[in-house]
Every structure is written in C-alpha cells, then in structure tokens.
Amino acid sequence: MTILSLLSLAGAVFILAVTPGIGVAATVSQAVARGFRSASLVVAGIVLGDIVYLLAAIYGLALLPKVLESFL
C-alpha cells in the first residue's frame, strides 16, 4: 500500500465517520417531536440492533472456516 492510497483510505474513512447517518436523523426527529424518553428508546433500539448485527457477523465468520474445511 502506497502512502497515497493510505491517505486516500484515511480520508474516506474520516468523511464517513463525521457524516451523520440515518440513526442521528431518527434520534433528533424523535427528540424534537416526542422528547428525551422517546429519543432514548430509539437510541437503545439502534444499539441493540448493532449488537445483534455484529454478533451475527462474528459468529458467521467464525463458522466459515469450519464449513469450508468440510469441502477440502
């Protein structure tokens, strides 16, 4: 990896990290429309969904070598 490609990757990751996503829009809209309690429930749902998604990805990737081993 060249220094130019490394800087390009770092710049792209930085832009993606600082750009607010749909979760931020949903949280802000709930906070404005219904208050803090409703917005905190939205945040809890987003966090729970992220945890479930990450666990599924981790267990799926852990299972992949076992499945591929049976084909070899």
Q: How many domains does the chain have?
A: 1
In a domain, 7, yes or no: no
pLDDT < 50: residue spans in the chain: none
pTM of the model: 0.70
Q: Are 30 and 38 within 8 A, CB to CB?
A: yes
In a domain, 6, yes or no: no
Q: Are 57 and 50 within 8 A, CB to CB?
A: no
In a domain, 57, yes or no: yes
In a domain, 5, yes or no: no
Look up the domain containing 47 and give its range: 22-71
